């Protein structure tokens, strides 16, 4: 049975509550009735929400109704009458259940089908079927006692009694003959066995059954309910699930060194104090953890060192061992090969102090260490390096290293200098005054940006260098500059349409109406129709047809394409003389036309000069008084206009003038206008017909003039007929009456936008 609470939740999606709060609130309401037999002043916590209070009250009332329904059923079974006071609390439902039970008993007593008609309420159906089943069970016991053969028993049952043995879980319908049909109440479907009823899970079956944000669907027996997600509560203001601010309600469990941050449906605890250098806050545990600078790459160890993480910091350890040097290209550690007179130390070549070894010089000489070597000079020699003391003159004279062979030029020419010497080095080498040797010049580093083109990379070689051009370039004759390769001219470019050469490469471009594919070579057609569809600025007023590299616009029937190839203009069929009847008037509409037949009412004839007018016959007033004659219009006319549907009405344009009418302008004349809605006939079932308040009747600035205007947007297509009555008075005395039938054709299309072709129009 669908309870009152479930029915309310099924009918009204507004009955939202916290999923964990609803069952407890409902139980409290039921217990209150069982203890007090009333539903006033239900005992709930002071902090109970409005949703909980409403839920408890509904469940209490549901229990009250259930209790009174059972009482009514018992009265029907025991007393076989329903003498109840409906003014008592629950008296109405008690009397309803009693009478529904009596109805079931009466049907069984008269061998009628025990099937409830449509329109019974839930409580009435509960009482009806329960009384049906109880009487059927007792009747089945008596019959079974008399007949042992069950098949014979079925044959003896009347048409209405066969539902007793049909085992229908909910509803049984006896169709007569040999057919007994089982069906289920709303919210259930018939099971495979043909008599049991299975609950329909609306949450899985229906799409968007609970469309409001932050809500979920909860299946219930025979129905469903929409509840708010945990962390949200139902708000009657706006009818939405609102986030619970646990921080504001002090419902969080944050520590003293943390602050509460509310999030949708939950909250977070944020640490107040910082963790300090080398540590970071874990947002999940709110604990300070060590920052691994090595993994993050935030260290400054450099390429020659290996980063090693420590708690709150890091250390830089040399990558290569003593006597090894890192290759910057490969990152491998290789043995260092230092020049003669040098030794490796922590990745560097240091000068060896040969003078630390005894016996380097003669007894009367002293050892002087030099970069990469040493020299012996007489003890007490006060001359500078590269000079010696002349024993005869006591003057410091230059030592000719080239002559005495103490130089390190090898096969290179030695040039003596005062106090020193130099070697004449080959091209690509230069003399090192410190090491006194010819060393290779790294032109790529020394003359970076000058020796090779900007489109090349420089590679140093022993005694020279070499320029390597980048992709898309080739080396020039001077071996230093790079020339661009024109892939488009050479035919190596794989462009589908057009190729543009650019420095070092090429670019594929496409013709107008195409765009470059993701591979950068192929060209894909641009579907202009889909690209602009629904953008509010469609390229075609009518139907857009995509073509390779372009598109074309096609107008529906009743329109013709304009010179711009995009705009559709309405064809005025009336100019072609479409309506040929004597009494027909052609009225052009958007995309079509209508032939209106002017039929004059009795005692009126067509005007010879105007097809849209009917004049009163003179003899009409022969048998009438003067006042009666005046109330018959002298002339009845028809005026026509066409508008598009949903004409925009806004604060800038509050109305649209449809007709202007003017009566006599003599000083003694005055006209009284009256506007009525005669008819509004939609051409489609879904079109909302117009009403009188959609139109305005206003006085114009001219004497005895009036304006009939549209004040609301109208749906289409539909035909509207307004009746405008003009009462003419001279010197305040009523003289005559005129009637104008104002016919308005509302088109099925909006202005400046034509509805796309239907299937019937394109077939």
- Domains of the chain as residue ranges with CATH: 353-440 (2.10.25.10), 445-484 (2.10.25.10), 489-525 (2.10.25.10), 529-569 (2.10.25.10), 579-746 (2.60.40.60)
- Which tokens is 268 given? 């977070």
Weakest mean pLDDT among 11-25, 217-231, 509-523, 606-620:
11-25
Confidence of residue 84 (pLDDT cuts 50, 70, 90): low
Confidence of residue 87 (pLDDT cuts 50, 70, 90): low
**Residue 453 DSSP label:** -
pLDDT score at 347: 65
The mean pLDDT of 609-632, rounded to a whole number, is: 89
481, exposed or middle or buried, with CB in 10 Å at 0-12, 13-18, 19+? middle
- Which tokens is 536 given? 């509010």
- Indicate if the pLDDT at residue 3 is higher than 50: no
- Indicate if the pLDDT at residue 149 is higher than 60: no
Confidence of residue 714 (pLDDT cuts 50, 70, 90): very high
Weakest mean pLDDT among 159-173, 206-220, 609-623, 704-718:
159-173
Helix, strand, coil percentages, rounded to 5, for the chain: 20, 35, 45
Compute the distance between CA of residue 492 and CA of residue 506 in angstroms, rounded to an integer: 10
pLDDT score at 159: 41
End-to-end CA distance of the chain: 54
* Cβ atoms of residues 434 and 466 within 8 Å: no
Kindly write down the DSSP assignment for every residue of 123-164, as one continuous string.
HHHHHHHHHHHHHHHHHHHHHHHH-S-HHHHHHHS-TGGGGG
pLDDT score at 497: 92
Confidence of residue 11 (pLDDT cuts 50, 70, 90): very low
Question: Tens digit of pLDDT for each residue in 469-507?
Answer: 999 999 999 999 999 999 999 988 899 999 999 998 999
| Tally of CB atoms within 10 A around 480 | 16
Confidence of residue 118 (pLDDT cuts 50, 70, 90): low
Place of tokens 């409290």: 28
Compute the distance between CA of residue 266 and CA of residue 168 in angstroms, rounded to an integer: 48
The mean pLDDT of 715-735, rounded to a whole number, is: 93
Compute the distance between CA of residue 341 and CA of residue 352 in angstroms, rounded to an integer: 5
pLDDT score at 155: 37
Compute the distance between CA of residue 750 and CA of residue 646 in angstroms, rounded to an integer: 6
pLDDT score at 80: 82
Confidence of residue 367 (pLDDT cuts 50, 70, 90): confident
Instruction: Establish whether the linkage from the previous residue to 147 is cis, with ω within 30° of 0.
Output: no
* Cβ atoms of residues 690 and 722 within 8 Å: no
* Cβ atoms of residues 646 and 714 within 8 Å: yes
Q: Which of 436-450, 641-655, 673-687 has the highest mean pLDDT?
A: 673-687
Burial per residue of 337-360, b for 16 or more beta-carbon CB atoms within 10 angstroms, e otherwise = ebeebbebeebebebbebbeeeeb
- Indicate if the pLDDT at residue 108 is higher than 90: no
The angle that helices 4-11 and 50-79 make with each other, rounded to 10 degrees, is 130
Tell me the β-bridge partners of 737. Answer: 727
pLDDT score at 468: 94
φ/ψ of residue 197, rounded to 5? -115, 130
Contacts of 380 (CB under 8 A, 6+ apart): none
Helix residue ranges, H only, 297-366: none
pLDDT score at 551: 92
Compute the distance between CA of residue 551 and CA of residue 565 in angstroms, rounded to an integer: 10
- Indicate if the pLDDT at residue 17 is higher than 60: no
**Residue 355 DSSP label:** G
* Cβ atoms of residues 42 and 36 within 8 Å: no
Contacts of 398 (CB under 8 A, 6+ apart): 386, 387, 416, 418, 419
Q: Which residue has the higher pLDDT, 761 or 491?
A: 491
- Which tokens is 161 given? 């009694």
Compute the distance between CA of residue 712 and CA of residue 348 in angstroms, rounded to an integer: 92
* Cβ atoms of residues 642 and 748 within 8 Å: no
Contacts of 666 (CB under 8 A, 6+ apart): none
pLDDT score at 482: 93
Percent of the chain with pLDDT over 70: 88
The mean pLDDT of 357-366, rounded to a whole number, is: 77
Question: Tens digit of pLDDT for each residue in 220-252?
Answer: 888 888 888 888 988 877 778 888 888 888 888
- Indicate if the pLDDT at residue 134 is higher than 80: no
* Cβ atoms of residues 413 and 419 within 8 Å: no
* Cβ atoms of residues 31 and 38 within 8 Å: no
Confidence of residue 83 (pLDDT cuts 50, 70, 90): confident
pLDDT score at 613: 93
- Which tokens is 390 given? 């002349």
């Amino acid at each position: 049975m669908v309870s009152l609470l479930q029915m309310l939740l099924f009918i009204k999606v507004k009955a939202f509550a916290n999923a964990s709060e609803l069952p407890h609130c409902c139980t409290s309401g039921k217990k209150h009735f069982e203890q007090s037999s009333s539903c006033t002043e239900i005992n709930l916590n002071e902090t109970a929400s409005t949703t909980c209070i409403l839920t408890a009250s509904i469940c209490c009332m549901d229990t009250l109704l259930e209790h009174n329904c059972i009482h009514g059923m018992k009265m029907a079974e025991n007393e076989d009458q329903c003498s109840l006071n409906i003014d008592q609390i629950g008296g109405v439902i008690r009397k309803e259940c009693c009478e529904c039970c009596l109805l079931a008993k009466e049907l069984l007593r008269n061998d009628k089908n025990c099937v409830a008609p449509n329109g019974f309420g839930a409580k009435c159906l509960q009482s009806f079927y329960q009384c049906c089943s109880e009487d059927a069970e007792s009747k089945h016991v008596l019959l079974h006692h008399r007949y042992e053969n069950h098949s014979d028993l079925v044959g003896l049952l009347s048409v209405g009694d066969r539902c007793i043995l049909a085992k229908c879980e909910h509803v049984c319908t006896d169709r007569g003959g040999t057919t007994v049909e089982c069906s289920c109440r709303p919210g259930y479907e018939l099971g495979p066995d043909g008599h049991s009823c299975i609950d329909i899970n609306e949450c899985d079956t229906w799409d968007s059954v609970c469309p409001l944000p932050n809500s979920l669907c909860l299946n219930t027996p025979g129905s469903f309910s929409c509840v708010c997600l945990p962390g949200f509560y139902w708000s009657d203001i706006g009818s939405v699930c609102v986030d619970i601010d646990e921080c504001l309600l002090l419902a969080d469990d944050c520590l003293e060194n943390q602050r509460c941050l509310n999030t949708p449906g939950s909250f977070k605890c944020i640490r107040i104090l910082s963790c300090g250098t080398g540590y970071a806050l874990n947002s999940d545990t709110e604990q300070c953890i060590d920052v691994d600078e090595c993994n993050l790459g935030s260290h400054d160890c450099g390429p020659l060192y290996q980063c090693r993480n420590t708690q709150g910091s890091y250390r830089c350890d040399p990558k290569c061992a003593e006597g090894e040097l890192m290759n910057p290209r490969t990152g491998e550690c290789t043995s260092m090969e230092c020049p003669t007179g040098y030794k490796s130390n922590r990745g560097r070549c240091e000068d060896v102090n040969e003078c630390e070894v005894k016996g380097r010089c003669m007894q009367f000489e002293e050892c002087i260490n030099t970069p990469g070597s040493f020299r012996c000079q007489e003890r007490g020699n006060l001359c500078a390096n590269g000079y010696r003391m002349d024993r005869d003159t006591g003057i410091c004279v230059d030592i000719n290293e080239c002559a005495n062979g103490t130089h390190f030029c090898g096969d290179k020419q030695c040039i003596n200098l005062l106090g020193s010497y130099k070697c004449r080095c080959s091209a690509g080498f230069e003399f090192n005054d410190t090491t006194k040797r010819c060393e290779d010049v790294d032109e790529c580093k020394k003359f970076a940006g000058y020796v090779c083109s900007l489109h090349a990379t420089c590679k140093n070689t022993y005694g020279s260098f070499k320029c390597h051009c980048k992709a898309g370039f080739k080396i020039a004759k001077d071996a230093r500059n790079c020339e661009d390769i024109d892939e488009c001219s050479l035919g190596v470019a794989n462009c589908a349409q057009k190729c543009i050469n650019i420095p070092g490469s090429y670019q594929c471009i496409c013709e107008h109406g195409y765009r470059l594919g993701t591979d950068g070579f192929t060209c894909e057609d641009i579907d202009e129709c889909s690209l602009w569809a629904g953008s509010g600025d469609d390229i075609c007023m009518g139907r857009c047809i995509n073509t390779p590299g372009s598109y074309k616009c096609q107008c529906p029937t009743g329109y013709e394409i304009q010179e711009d190839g995009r705009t559709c203009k309405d064809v005025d069929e009336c100019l072609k003389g479409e309506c040929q009847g004597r009494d027909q008037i052609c009225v052009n509409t958007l995309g079509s036309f209508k032939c209106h037949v002017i039929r004059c009412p009795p005692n009126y004839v067509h005007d010879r000069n105007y097809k849209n007018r009917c004049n009163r016959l003179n003899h009409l007033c022969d048998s009438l008084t003067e006042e009666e004659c005046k109330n018959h219009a002298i002339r009845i006319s028809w005026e026509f206009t066409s508008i598009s549907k949903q004409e925009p009405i806004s604060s800038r344009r509050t109305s649209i003038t449809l007709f202007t009418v003017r009566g006599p302008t003599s000083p003694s004349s005055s006209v009284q206008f009256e506007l009525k809605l005669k008819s509004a006939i939609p051409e489609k079932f879904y079109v909302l017909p117009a009403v009188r308040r959609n139109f305005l009747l206003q006085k114009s600035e001219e004497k005895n003039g009036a304006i009939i205007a549209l004040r609301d947007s109208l749906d289409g297509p539909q035909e509207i007929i307004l009746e405008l009555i003009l009462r003419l008075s001279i010197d305040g005395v009523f003289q005559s009456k005129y009637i104008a039938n104002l016919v308005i054709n509302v088109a099925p299309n909006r202005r400046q936008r034509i509805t796309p072709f239907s299937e019937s129009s394109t077939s």
